[in-house]
Amino acid sequence: MTERVDLLLAVADDELILGWRNSEWTGIAPFLEEDVAFSSIAQNEIGHARALYELVARELGTDADAVAFDREPHEYRSAPLVELRRLEWARTIARHWLYETADAIRLESLKASDDTELAGIAAKIDREEVYHRIHAEMWIDRLLASPEGRPRLEEALDELWPYALGVLDGELRPELVDRVGAKLDRTLPDVEPVPRGRHEAELAELLEEMTSVRRSAPAGARW
Amino acid sequence: MTVPPISDFSRTPALSRADVWQVLAEIPDPELPVISIVDLGVVRDVRLDGERVHVEFTPTFMGCPALDVMRSHMEDAIRGLGGEPEIEVILDDSWSTDRISAEGREKLRAAGFAPPTPRAAEPPTLIQLERGSFRCPWCGSTDTKLENLFGPTPCRSLRYCNGCRQPFEQFKTI
């Protein structure tokens, strides 16, 4: 596997898996606006994943669906942060904001890549991610301003912090430390990142569910 | 004036780029049929090479399910002209809501969708979306408030007009 395919898969798998996790709120979010927001964010993330899988598929001589769905759990390159099943609001918001903040840093670096095709896609993705970041920050501000919300959010952020660091390569992590610390106005604990390459047990369950329809159809079925 | 040989009159007239643009301009956006895909600005270029018709297509929002439908409608329209379609999907930052034509924007407004504000040098902020001057497509008032950043499709957010007390859909700027 080339370095380029590895990079594309890391970003695409993050977006696909988190898109799936976000879609788990469809129909059951605390109120209708968030039901719509998380569903729409999920749709965007899966759209980004698809575009990146197309590039991978072209390099590997296959199609995007095969890349997205036909791998074994250990072959995914997603970060453990996006794999966690977190159907609890404070943790959902904590994960959403930590991921979007890390993803913004990653996109900034990809937009400056000398791989012009990847830089162009990153720029396009970033136009949509702006709205995800505004949404996540709006929720962080809201919870931080609430006597009940703040401790719950802070606890969730501390729990997920090692996972958030694991989304980025080593050289981009200090930027995440700075941005998250500045927003929360405190120093984050100095912890070992939960690195990409390790997988949460929940990933296999997610993939089992996500690929069940595809696996039930005969090979070569057209959708 | 030179009279062309008789045989030339019996041939199928050659396709022109204008013919292709014209049929593409008749294809409605699958989700917002009030405007065409040409009004939407997703067709960046049309080139001809004999019967091969090469179209550069710049998608809107990347997860928009209408994109595949647009693509197949373009292919059908080009085949209808006797051409062989080649749709090239350009995935870079070249499509913006600024590419929606002036005519397209008016069609959107008339149908109750507030057209997008112009793309600025810096990405939008929550303050701008909450306090900016967004005009109600129904009554024209700018006394409107943001209800939800997200809406029924990726390209729209929801606002509420205090003037006529109607909700409306506002195109996001990208």
Q: Looking at the domain assignment, is residue A223 inside a domain?
A: no
Closest CA to A49 of A107, A120, A125, A117: A125
Q: Looking at the domain assignment, is residue A95 inside a domain?
A: yes
Q: What is the pLDDT of residues A47-86, one digit of tens each?
A: 999 999 999 999 999 999 999 999 999 999 999 999 999 8
Chain A contact probe: residue of B62, B72, B127, B148 with most A CBs at under 10 A: B62
Asked if pLDDT for residue B134 goes beyond 60, the answer is yes
Model pTM score: 0.93
Q: For A37, which of B63, B126, B150 is closest by C-beta distance?
A: B150
Identify all chain B residues contacting A47, using CB atoms and an 8 Å cutoff.
61-64, 154
Q: What is the least distance, in Å, from the CA of A211 to any CA of chain B?
A: 19
Q: Compute the half-sphere exposure of residue A103: CA atoms within 13 Å on the CB side of its CA.
A: 31
Q: Is the dihedral of CA B129, B94, A12, A162 positive or negative?
A: negative
Which tokens in the block code for residue A72?
């074994």
**Among A201-210, A213-222, B93-102, where is mean pLDDT lowest?**
A213-222
Q: Looking at the domain assignment, is residue A137 inside a domain?
A: yes
Closest CA to B171 of B95, B92, B118, B126: B118
Q: Looking at the domain assignment, is residue A76 inside a domain?
A: yes
Q: Looking at the domain assignment, is residue A221 inside a domain?
A: no
Q: What is the least distance, in Å, from the CA of A128 to any CA of chain B?
A: 7
How many domains, in total, are found in chain A?
Answer: 1
> By the CB < 8 Å criterion, does B148 face chain A?
yes
Alpha-carbon dihedral of residues A41, A45, A50, A52, nearest 10 degrees?
Answer: 150
What is the pLDDT of chain A when averaged over all its residues?
A: 95
Q: What is the pLDDT of residues B29-58, one digit of tens each?
A: 999 999 999 999 999 999 999 899 999 999
Q: What is the pLDDT of residues B75-108, one digit of tens each?
A: 999 999 999 999 999 999 999 999 999 999 999 9
Closest CA to B100 of B34, B19, B35, B155: B35
- 10 Å CB burial of residue B90 (0-12, 13-18, 19+) is middle
Q: What is the pLDDT of residues A122-152, one digit of tens each?
A: 999 999 999 999 999 999 999 999 999 999 9
Q: Looking at the domain assignment, is residue A222 inside a domain?
A: no
Task: Name the amino acid, one letter, at B54.
Answer: H
pLDDT for position B3: 57
> By the CB < 8 Å criterion, does B150 face chain A?
yes
CATH number of the domain where residue A212 is located: 1.20.1260.10
Q: In this predicted complex, what is the ipTM?
A: 0.88
Identify all chain A residues contacting B129, using CB atoms and an 8 Å cutoff.
134
Range of the domain at A38: 3-185+196-216
Pairing between strand B113-114 and B166-171?
Answer: parallel
pLDDT-derived band at B131, boundaries 50, 70, 90: confident
CATH 3.30.300.130, domain B14-89, yes or no: yes
Chains A, B: CB contacts within 8 A come to 76
> By the CB < 8 Å criterion, does B127 face chain A?
no
Asked if pLDDT for residue B10 goes beyond 50, the answer is no
**Domain map of chain B by residue range?**
14-89, 113-171
The neighbouring-strand residues paired with B157 are B170
- Helix (H) or strand (E) run with residue A83 in it: helix A80-83
pLDDT for position A216: 92
